[in-house]
Amino acid sequence: MSQIFGIVGVFDRPEAVTDAAKHLRSLGFRAMDAYTPYPVEGLDQLLRPQRRMMLPLVMFAAAVAGAAWGYFIQTWDEVLNYPINVGGRPHNSWPAFIVGTFEFMLLVTIAAGLFGFLASCRLPRLYHPIFNADAFGRASVDRFVLCVEARDPSFEVEHLRRIFERFGAERVAEVPA
Amino acid sequence: MTVLIDLPREAPVVGPGVTLRSLSEEVSNRVLLPNTPRWWWIGFALGMALLLTFVVQLIWLFINGVGIWGINIPVAWGFAIAEYVWWIALASGGTIVSALFFLTRSPWRSATNRIAETMLLSAAPCAGLLPIMHLGRQGLFYWLFPYSSVMGVWPQVRSPLWWDFVCLLCYILMSIMYYYTGLLPDLATVRDLARTRWKQVFYGVLALGWHGSARHWRNQQTVYAVMSAIMAPMVISVHSVVGLDFAGGITPGWHSTQFPPYFFFGAVISGTALIMMLTILVRWGYGLEDVLTGYHLNALAKVMLVGSVMLGYAYVWEAWGPIYGSDVAERTQFFYRIFGFYAACYWGKIVLNIVIPQLLWLPIVRRSEVLLFSISAGIIVGMWLERFVIVIPSLSHGYMPSYWGVFFPTFWDWAALAGTIGLFLSLFFLLLKLVPIVSMSEVREIVAKERSR
Amino acid sequence: MSIAHRDYWRSLEELAESPGFAQLVEREAPRFRDMLGPLDRRNFLRLMAAAMALGGLSDCGPEAEPRQLLPYVEQPPGIVPGQARYYATATTRSGFATGVLIEHRMARPVKVEGNPDHPASLGAASAIMQASILELYDPRRAQTILGQGQIDSWEHLITALFDRREQLLARGGAGLRLLTGAVTSPSLRAQIALLQQQFPAMRWHQWEPLGRGNERIASERMLGRPLDRRFDLDNADIIFAIESDLISNVPGWLAYARQFAAHRRPDETGGKMSRIYAIESTPTLIGAKADHRLALGPADLAAAMRYLAAITGAGPQDWQQTPVADAAWLRAAADDLNQHKGRVLVHAGREQPVEIHLLADAINNALGAFGQTIRLIEPVAPSGSTDQSLEALVGDMTAGRVDTLVMLETNPVYDAPADLDFTAALNRVPLSVSLALYADETAMASTWLVPATQEYEAWGDARAFDGTITIQQPQVRRLYNGHSPHELLAVLHGNTLPIDYQLVRDFWQNETHQRGIGDFDRFWHEALRIGIVENSAAPTVTATPNASALTSLQAAEKPVPGVQLLFREDPLVGGGRDVNNPWLLETPRPFTRLTWDNAALIAPATAKRLGLGIGDVLEIADHGRKVRAPVFVLPGQAADCITLPLGFGHTAGGLGADIGFDAYRLRTSAAPWITRGATLSRTGETYRLATVQGHDRVAGRDLVREGTLTEYQDNPDFLRRPETDQSLYPEYKYPRYAWAMAIDLNSCIGCQSCVVACQAENNIPTVGKDMVLQERIMHWLRIDRYYHGPVDNPAVAFEPVPCMHCEQAPCEVVCPVHATVHDHDGLNLMVYNRCIGTRFCSNNCPYKVRRFNYFGFAERDDRPPESWNPEVTVRNRGVMEKCTYCIQRIRHAEIEADKQDRLVPDGAIQTACQQSCPTQAIIFGNRNDRDSGVARRKASLLDYTLLDELNTRPRTSYAALIRNPNPKIGDREA
């Protein structure tokens, strides 16, 4: 069955997708994903209840690293590498180093955020089989698409088609791999 | 803030007729359809014309050095720095609206934040260029980067100027990343709505293959929230550090602990004012009245009003300090400000930033686009005057009466001002043509909410 | 070439016949001389071609052969790079010599310093002396001989003079006139004497536009014969100054200033101070230092002097009856003078009329000043009636009795009295030769212009105010083929190949022979080495003052209403002699702080009455002669007196041409110093005057601490402030050296010497008037001038402000690139190469001592490269700069000391400003060394730092200003 990627049901209401997804999970489907034009509250938790968000932790770690780096280069500069009497101020004028430390911390954090986010989304990835789905273009405009992938053990086209239609899918289609 | 914004609504967040599709097409078509409105061409042409003067003045500057400006000793900083502060304040306004009010979950922010951020990205380069232009030896600006540039010598990190340099650098980089994170889903929409091949490729590449899966959305929402939580203190720090450029010096008129918040208040009011003007422009130009509704203008107006009140508070303290304090130099400095050679600028800023904006207490004023537009324009001029008053009169009346002097702007000073405005306009109109100017994904949520109600 | 503007073909024939052509060929192409006989057309054309080609060459004459100094490729013996060598010589103004040492680097003269062994310098060097090095290198100097306005040659001049000489000899010299300034040079006088032997009918005229004639006449009437005076200020407890130039202009003023200052430092003299009274019509430096000052117009001043003479018993008692203003003041002063008989000095400036000088001398006599504070010597520059002699000359010239006029370094066309109309007279003289440093007005009006050598280019000799002789030796090969006066005179003697060295040396050879000095070579070397001829000072002579001299005075003239014009020398351009010197033009005048211009100085009250403000252009008309002058309102100027500084408004010459207005055009031989009844009219125009000081008052800041001597005696630390030095930070230690500077406000007389010295030492560029107007002047050291008290007669304080070298320097903390930092000696360094020009340091400098190169000022400066001081970096565009305490000198001394493995001894380092200061107001040294001069100054209870509330810990500190007012006279603020 590997010539198709999966089967999609296209809905016009977020609630329909949520209900369908609930039902499918209760039937034991796991390999499925929903594509929506805007974030639908709790949908991801519904599809992947066990998934934990690592991103905030990553960014926090980055913040700590950034701050450390920021303070270090300033100390290296003024204290370790080239200590010199500037206006009678001590070499390690830590209050003056705070700003730099702070800014470096934030910069690194945001960078980590962006790249962590892309990584966790497996992006950039210009091609994805789901793009082959019929009318998938509308998933980024005004349609809500639920896709059960063929790799799911209990994947069975007709069965899923009926379920989708029962939940009011306005179209159900197979997605070529 | 939230308290102010969540007052009983005076207008709906989105117009009644707006559907998910109409919204997406209305917005995306601005970048997809070939026909470009005349007003865009006019604005863009104006920008390019001014940009040309910018190039000319840059060439002249590099040939002759900063001596072409009116600066001297004692007034060693002139327009370049005043305008740098002015631009960075305008830019910060963008982040304030998009990040600060994201945290407050203000509904009106969703439609305006893209305008705000686009404005930010167009204003930041102006702010970034001016300090480099004003160096005596512009070619060596890179010595500010934290690395061992010459004979193992590093930057002097106690200098507020270095703090400022780092802030600006980080701020611009971070703004771009923040902007992109928010923009990604909309790029996907444009990709999907694009009909011509090259546009599909162009936006397809920019969208990085975003396909709005539940996982994507959850990641994006999380990271965007955290980013906003970081950008908010960031923007406050940026403008506070700009304030430290002055507060860090002992010059009378600069050496004041209130500068960081003072400058931030300035950023709030001037940034919002510019967003207001641009929103009105886009709204009218792109006929987005039902997406950028009176509700948004009203909210922005209130922010401006708050900014104006906060700024007024800062002005009071700016006056009280010298008068109450014992430092004779500070006092002479202040009286020079309000009665001296540059007094007109001081009173001008008071009127434009504090007096006139009080009209915004009246709902009628908040509903009239014309009034809002002109008040905002006045505020932007007023903020320019404020920066001028902070930088120049302070320097011209320092500690040594024997070395008091005045600064007269030369033609090239004005050329630099016009030039940066040109740079801003060119960039803004370019982005206007390239990226969806309203954050569709966020407005969709609001449309959905409205509909489900 | 003269043929240029003639019709071509005709001109060739004319030219071919004309003697001018013959001369041309002779000069340019001697080989063709014999071809001048019968000319066939071909020859003629060939010749023309050659002549024209060569003629073309002669236009680029001097440049054709290299005249500028070249750096060494192979090092000559005895010259060590980085080691300075010093050669003694002297520079003269109005004939009077001041000894200098010229610093040579790699055999190039780069700086002028005072000669400590010379009585007129004692090591100090005035602004004009300092700037003379720039005159040496000035590319605008006259560089080629002009005959009839055409480029010509020395040989040709000689031939011309020889032709004339034959005729003159036949006539016994009738029609030959020599015009010079005051001449003190023994050798030159000898040459003139010789000339007078050869030409008995020749007459020698002298013209000094700013001469001291009145003084001399007074001394003739008072002492019977013209005598010069030397003053001994050590004996003067009271100085009564009548618009006196005692510490600003009299010959030897540098030495007097030192004596003067030595008695103005209560913290060093154990609480003793001299007391100064000043009455004057226009501010003078001594007036600024005075403890009591009156601003009086000339008439009031005369009245006051008579009154004073009367009550000091010097004059008829009935003079007391005539009422005078300020009688109480004068009484108190008189009592003071009477109580200090024998220890007083009354001194009147040279501008004062004979009457005032007589009165002053009479009072001096009555109070026994002669022999005590005044020593008499035979005139150093003896002359017939100098000032009138120009009138005689002009008379003869107009009458056509003069056919040969030789002028040595004098510029009468510019500075002769306006009523004489020297120019017209000069045009009637067939042969006039002008030896001039610049192609000035006179030179251009004469038939011959001979470029003169600058003093550092030629051999010569001159005498100082006390008669001491200096033999001047050239410091460098002649830069612009000039000729010395000795050489020109020798030509008149009939010498075809005059060489200044021989002329001067021969003179001294037989001079020493006559004086019976055996070993001439020893004498010669010694004289050149130390820069003076030993014990050549004039002996003091005695003359009994004629007590009845005053009886000859006629009744006091009634004060006339209306404005009066005072003609005064500009303090820096010396009556026009130094107006081509950019350093002097850009140095701010002590009171007006004016650069690049002169202005009509008006008292505030008068200005208000006439409705004039600074910069209003005034038309001043007198006897049909008109001058347009911008107005400058000057506090302390006497009411209804307009001071017109002389020396500007040249129409020819060097840089100085067309700068300022020419007050000489209103100056007549009858009234050289003051005229009444001039008419003023406002033109309605305004003119931008480039003053450098923004504000005249301290504006409530604690910048000038000031008190009175009694306060000081009662409580020596009455000016101390509670110690403010506190710091959150640990102190840096400066174990080895802690370089520091102490400036004594009591000593500083505001003469600007240090400003120019700093400029010379540290390669500070001049920026020009436009940039001064834009407030971009580059001086590292400035002398602030503050007023307090009533605007008509304010108290003046001069405050030199170099970099403070703060230990907690605000400038350093804000530099983002480590371009200004501290070194281990606590110097505040400026690293030019590291500076990127953010200018934050200047904004953050409370003392505003930092200067920024807004343009490439040094590149713009049109001085030859070899004239810069190789010890100091020449800064380029876009970098900040400031006073370094002359770090090049510090490092040099430190290295020398390290070689000997010891600390730098006190006094081994003198900063340029300190070195040039006549009053030793500035002292520099190692603060760690408890007995160093600077440490002792800083230990004084008067010592304070500027803006100490900022806690910047300046290394430069000041001694508070103490005045010694007469308790019987209320404070002038009261």
Segment C733-787, tens digit of pLDDT:
899 999 999 999 999 999 999 999 999 999 999 999 999 999 999 999 999 999 9
Spell out which residues of chain B touch residue A43, defining contact as CB-CB under 8 Å.
214, 217-218
pLDDT in tens, C71-123: 556 666 677 777 888 999 999 998 999 999 999 988 889 999 999 999 999 99
Cβ distance of B137 and C835 shorter than 8 Å: yes
Mean pLDDT, chain B, whole residue set: 90
Q: How would you classify the pairing of strands C96-105 and C84-93?
A: antiparallel
List the structure tokens of C804: 């403070």
Of A95, A120, A145, the residue at which a domain comes to its end is A120
Give yes or no for residue C138 having a pLDDT over 70.
yes
What per-residue confidence (pLDDT) applies to C659? Answer: 92
What mean pLDDT is predicted for residues C665-669? 90
Partner residue opposite C816 with nearest CB, options B70, B155, B400: B155
For C789, the 3-state DSSP assignment is coil
Spell out which residues of chain B touch residue A51, defining contact as CB-CB under 8 Å.
215
Q: Say whether residue C810 is in contact with chain A using an 8 A CB cutoff.
A: yes
What per-residue confidence (pLDDT) applies to C51? Answer: 53
Q: How far, in Å, are B43, B84, B130, C183 from residue B87 at the CA level?
A: 19, 5, 9, 70
Exposure on the CB side of residue C475, measured as CA atoms within 13 A = 28
- Would you place residue C36 in the very low, low, confident or very high pLDDT band (cuts 50, 70, 90)? very low
Of B27, B19, B26, residue with least CA distance to B434:
B27
List the structure tokens of C127: 């602004």
Q: Quote the percentage of chain C above a pLDDT of 70.
A: 91
Which amino acid makes up residue B219? N
The C-alpha atoms of residue C814 and residue C826 are separated, in whole angstroms, by 18
Q: What angle do CA C697, C699, C700 make, to 5 degrees?
A: 125
Spell out which residues of chain C touch residue A89, defining contact as CB-CB under 8 Å.
729, 808, 813
Of A98, A120, A142, the residue at which a domain comes to its end is A120
Cβ distance of B401 and C842 shorter than 8 Å: no
Give yes or no for residue C669 having a pLDDT over 90.
no
What ipTM was assigned to the predicted interfaces of this complex?
0.91
The C-alpha atoms of residue C621 and residue B103 are separated, in whole angstroms, by 80
What per-residue confidence (pLDDT) applies to C22? Answer: 52
List the structure tokens of B103: 């945290």
The position carrying tokens 């063709």 is C32
What mean pLDDT is predicted for residues B45-50? 95
Question: Do A78 and A103 belong together in one domain?
Answer: yes
**Structural domain total, chain A:** 2
Question: Do A46 and A101 belong together in one domain?
Answer: no
List the structure tokens of C418: 């306006």
The position carrying tokens 């500084």 is C645
Give yes or no for residue B4 having a pLDDT over 80.
no
* C46-50, C561-565, C675-679: the lowest-pLDDT one: C46-50
Cβ distance of B150 and C950 shorter than 8 Å: no
What per-residue confidence (pLDDT) applies to C6? Answer: 36
Spell out which residues of chain A touch residue B222, defining contact as CB-CB under 8 Å.
53, 55-56
DSSP lists the bridge partners of residue C278 as C241, C293
What per-residue confidence (pLDDT) applies to C82? Answer: 79
Helix count (H) and strand count (E) of chain A?
5, 4
Q: How far, in Å, are C253, C274, C459, C461, C513 from residue C471 at the CA level?
A: 21, 36, 8, 4, 17
- Would you place residue C11 in the very low, low, confident or very high pLDDT band (cuts 50, 70, 90)? very low
The alpha-carbon gap from C827 to the nearest alpha carbon of chain A, in Å, equals 10
What mean pLDDT is predicted for residues C458-486? 92
For B278, the 3-state DSSP assignment is helix
pLDDT in tens, C872-899: 999 999 999 999 999 999 999 999 999 9
Of C217, C214, C256, residue with least CA distance to C345:
C256
Which residues have C-beta within 8 Å of that of residue A58, sequence separation ≥ 6?
A: A112, A113, A116
Spell out which residues of chain B touch residue A149, defining contact as CB-CB under 8 Å.
none
The C-alpha atoms of residue B73 and residue B404 are separated, in whole angstroms, by 9
Q: Is C81 exposed, middle or buried (0-12, 13-18, 19+ CB in 10 A)?
A: exposed
Could you tell me the end-to-end alpha-carbon distance of chain A, in angstroms, rounded to an integer? 10
- Phi, psi for C582 (deg, rounded to 5): -60, -35
Partner residue opposite C818 with nearest CB, options B73, B76, B156: B156
Question: Do A100 and A147 belong together in one domain?
Answer: no
Question: Do A134 and A98 belong together in one domain?
Answer: no
Question: Do A89 and A142 belong together in one domain?
Answer: no
The position carrying tokens 């040595």 is C408
Q: How would you classify the pairing of strands C641-646 and C564-569?
A: parallel
Helices (H), C29-153: 41-59, 61-64, 127-137
What per-residue confidence (pLDDT) applies to C45? Answer: 62
Q: Quote the percentage of chain B above a pLDDT of 70.
A: 97
Helical (H) or strand (E) element with C303: helix C298-311
Of A84, A89, A94, which to mutate for an interface test with C (greatest number of C Cβ within 10 Å)?
A89
The C-alpha atoms of residue C341 and residue C908 are separated, in whole angstroms, by 42
Give yes or no for residue C24 having a pLDDT over 60.
no
- The model scores a pTM over 0.95: no
Cβ distance of A85 and C821 shorter than 8 Å: yes
What per-residue confidence (pLDDT) applies to C550? Answer: 80
For C179, the 3-state DSSP assignment is strand
C273 alpha-carbon distance from chain centroid: 29
Question: Do A36 and A17 belong together in one domain?
Answer: yes
- Would you place residue B201 in the very low, low, confident or very high pLDDT band (cuts 50, 70, 90)? very high
Residue A171 belongs to domain with CATH number: 3.30.70
* DSSP symbols for C456-515: GGS-EEEE-TT--EEEE--SSS-SS--B-HHHHHHHHHT-SS--HHHHHHHHHHHHHHHH
- Would you place residue C698 in the very low, low, confident or very high pLDDT band (cuts 50, 70, 90)? confident
The C-alpha atoms of residue C389 and residue C401 are separated, in whole angstroms, by 15
Q: What is residue B138's DSSP assignment?
A: G
Of A120, A137, A162, the residue at which a domain comes to its end is A120
What per-residue confidence (pLDDT) applies to C828? Answer: 94
Of A60, A94, A110, A130, which to mutate for an interface test with B (greatest number of B Cβ within 10 Å)?
A110
Question: Do A59 and A114 belong together in one domain?
Answer: yes
Q: Is B395 exposed, middle or buried (0-12, 13-18, 19+ CB in 10 A)?
A: buried
Of A74, A86, A91, A99, which to mutate for an interface test with C (greatest number of C Cβ within 10 Å)?
A86
Q: What angle do CA C708, C710, C714 make, to 5 degrees?
A: 120
Partner residue opposite A33 with nearest CB, options B193, B214, B442: B214
- Would you place residue C69 in the very low, low, confident or very high pLDDT band (cuts 50, 70, 90)? low
The C-alpha atoms of residue C248 and residue C282 are separated, in whole angstroms, by 13
Partner residue opposite C812 with nearest CB, options A82, A87, A90: A87
What per-residue confidence (pLDDT) applies to C944? Answer: 92
Q: How would you classify the pairing of strands A171-176 and A4-11?
A: antiparallel
The C-alpha atoms of residue A161 and residue A172 are separated, in whole angstroms, by 6
Point out the residues of chain A with pLDDT beneath 70: 1-2
Question: Do A112 and A62 belong together in one domain?
Answer: yes
List the structure tokens of B414: 């004005």
Residue span of the structural domain in which A111 resides: 55-120
Residue C953: closest C-alpha in chain A: A88
What mean pLDDT is predicted for residues C284-311? 91
* B435-439, C342-346, C695-699: the lowest-pLDDT one: C695-699
Give yes or no for residue C21 having a pLDDT over 70.
no
Q: How far, in Å, are B250, B328, C707, C945 from residue C702 at the CA level?
A: 17, 10, 13, 9
Chains that touch A (3 or more CB pairs under 8 A): B, C
Which residues have C-beta within 8 Å of that of residue C158, sequence separation ≥ 6?
A: C491, C496
What per-residue confidence (pLDDT) applies to C23? Answer: 58
Question: Do A116 and A59 belong together in one domain?
Answer: yes
Q: Say whether residue C803 is in contact with chain A using an 8 A CB cutoff.
A: no
Do B177 and B224 form a contact (C-beta atoms < 8 A)?
no
**Radius of gyration of chain B, Cα coordinates, nearest whole angstrom:** 23
Helix count (H) and strand count (E) of chain B?
17, 0
Spell out which residues of chain C touch residue B332, defining contact as CB-CB under 8 Å.
699-700
- Phi, psi for A166 (deg, rounded to 5): -60, -35
Cβ distance of B155 and C817 shorter than 8 Å: yes
Please state at what angle helix A157-166 crosses helix A14-26, rounded to 10 degrees.
Answer: 140
What mean pLDDT is predicted for residues B387-405? 92
What per-residue confidence (pLDDT) applies to C48? Answer: 60
For C259, the 3-state DSSP assignment is helix
Edge-to-edge strand order for the sheet containing C943-944? C922-926, C739-744, C956-959, C943-944
Cβ distance of B212 and A140 shorter than 8 Å: yes
Q: How would you classify the pairing of strands C795-801 and C679-686?
A: unpaired
In the stretch 64-103 of chain A, residues with CB closer than 8 A to chain C read: 82, 84-90
Give yes or no for residue C70 having a pLDDT over 70.
no
The C-alpha atoms of residue C808 and residue C826 are separated, in whole angstroms, by 10
Long-range contacts made by residues C77-82, C-beta under 8 angstroms, separation at least 24? C79/C106, C79/C107, C81/C106, C82/C871, C82/C892
Q: How far, in Å, are B132, B174, B175, C538 from residue B168 at the CA level?
A: 12, 10, 10, 75
What per-residue confidence (pLDDT) applies to C949? Answer: 86
Question: Do A41 and A94 belong together in one domain?
Answer: no
Which amino acid makes up residue C95? G
Cβ distance of A85 and C823 shorter than 8 Å: yes
Of C787, C349, C792, C483, residue with least CA distance to C608:
C792
What mean pLDDT is predicted for residues C563-577? 91
For C734, the 3-state DSSP assignment is coil
Question: Do A63 and A113 belong together in one domain?
Answer: yes
Of B215, B224, B236, which to mutate for an interface test with A (greatest number of A Cβ within 10 Å)?
B215
Q: Say whether residue B134 is in contact with chain A using an 8 A CB cutoff.
A: no
Question: Do A39 and A61 belong together in one domain?
Answer: no
Do B170 and A103 form a contact (C-beta atoms < 8 A)?
yes
Residue A100: closest C-alpha in chain B: B163
